[in-house]
A and B are shown apart, each in its own frame.
Chain A
Amino acid sequence: MYAFTYHGAETLEQAQELLASGDDPKILAGGHTLLPTMKQRLANPSDLIDIAGINALSGITLTGAALSIGAMETHAQVADSPVAQRAIPGLAALAGQIGDPHVRNRGTIGGSLANNDPAADYPAACLALGALIHTTQRQIKAQDFFTDLFETSLEEHEIITRIEFPTPEISAYAKSPNPASRYALVGVYVARTQNGVQVAVTGAGPVVFLATGFSQALERSFSRGALNGVTVSPEGLNADLHASAAYRAHLIGIMARQAVTTALSQKQGAPS
């Protein structure tokens, strides 16, 4: 690692001041993406602003028809939260599938969204559920947030404070993990709300995307069978040593069907 100066921020205001005064400062959340990157000398921030001590960034609450999750909530906290499990069981189950137990104990939802790894799990849930990403400056709709490979619409020094998920009727995530890294080779989140069905795909392309053909078919009939004959074109999908684009395209169909089955096993508003 290159040298840097560490700062522990206790309030959002303090974090913002530190971000504004540093040379090339970076926010440190769980550190489970940033520190490995710095160890490989792929990042060289002048200052790390640790936001773990900021109380305003924690908490999981259900207000009206939306589940609100603080940016510093770890994957383990979301997975184990009775509030999250009741409100959006598919989302809690997704959090429980990220990495391994020790990664889940440190990695945070805010860090995962800000990083926007093309194989990360949370982006699929955000897009399918129509999440609203609250920051120190504004609210960003998920559809406007994930812009490209490791790119988001966050401005420099903008801090994600919490993520608001409208509660769906039913929803579920299915993921085919890369057996070594546990990241998604393909992950599909299916959500049925009062306004229709959304199907979001991660791992398969350079950035999370909506599979509109699948959504339309599922709107006609929310069943596995509705997806028969519906496919996603492999064009533009990722191809690497783990899987070809055609294989990924095929996996999207398989994962979508699995997610539909899991979603149907949930009783509306209560985990099965």
Chain B
Amino acid sequence: MPSQNMAINGKAVHFDGDDRTLLVDFLRDALELTGTHVGCDTSQCGACVVLMDGVAVKSCTILARQAEGREITTIEGLSGKELHPLQAAFQQCHALQCGFCTPGMILAAHDMIRRGAARDEAQIRHELEGNLCRCTGYQNIVKAIKAAAINQTE
């Protein structure tokens, strides 16, 4: 099987596993980047969302091979020494309870803010259609994304 290159959190990585390996399994099992979660495995919950060339995608519905030549950012790659502003906002607003949905929520929010699609509460709620949370009732997640979006545009 040919090996291939991709960049994960800024580091060049070789994938040479079975062709049917999903990107999420490569991240979690081979690279031990277990911050990316699997909530449903049926492309619905968004717990597995990562950024591929900056765009939010469900890593349970992408083959590792489809990520060839791409740059992947997982939750582990978002912060430097300090928390990323979105992570800080989630912490401040108490936007998580069990935390299972949080990595996907934060990366979805990252994409949302990049596209300027976090203008108000209604738009944020609409944009969160691909991310399910079973704990918080979304209230504080929306609040945190709004706070982070305002901070970034100021």
- Distance in angstroms from B135 CB to nearest chain A CB is 19
- Is there a chain A Cβ closer than 8 Å to B129's Cβ? yes
* CB closest chain-A residue, reference B104: A102
Chain B interface extent, by class: 20 to 34
- Is there a chain A Cβ closer than 8 Å to B71's Cβ? no
- Is there a chain B Cβ closer than 8 Å to A1's Cβ? yes
- Distance in angstroms from B21 CB to nearest chain A CB is 9
Q: Which chain B residues border A105 with CB–CB below 8 Å? A: 55-57, 111
Known: A3-B18, A3-B19. A101 touches B111 (CB 8 A): yes
* B61 lies within 8 A of A101 (CB): no
Known: A32-B43, A101-B108. A106 touches B20 (CB 8 A): no
Tell me what chain A mostly uses at the interface: helix, strand, loop, or mixed. Answer: mixed
Task: Please report the number of residue pairs spanning A and B whose Cβ atoms sit closer than 8 angstroms.
Answer: 74
Alpha-carbon distance between A106 and B130 when the two chains are bound, in angstroms: 13
* B42 lies within 8 A of A36 (CB): yes
Known: A100-B129, A101-B129. A31 touches B108 (CB 8 A): no
- Distance in angstroms from A199 CB to nearest chain B CB is 27
- Number of A interface residues in the complex (CB < 8 A): 29
* A103 lies within 8 A of B63 (CB): no
Known: A3-B19, A101-B111, A103-B43. A50 touches B65 (CB 8 A): yes
* A106 lies within 8 A of B41 (CB): no
With A36-B43, A103-B43, A106-B57 given, can you name 15 additional A-B contacts, CB distance below 8 Å? A2-B20, A4-B20, A6-B63, A8-B65, A31-B66, A32-B43, A35-B62, A48-B19, A48-B63, A100-B130, A100-B131, A102-B58, A103-B130, A105-B111, A106-B61
Which chain A residues have a beta carbon within 8 Å of chain B's beta carbons?
1-6, 8, 28, 31-32, 35-36, 38-39, 48, 50, 52, 76, 80, 99-103, 105-106, 180-182
For the complex of A and B, the 6 pairs showing the least CB-CB separation, nearest first, are: A100-B130, A6-B19, A100-B129, A1-B20, A102-B130, A6-B65
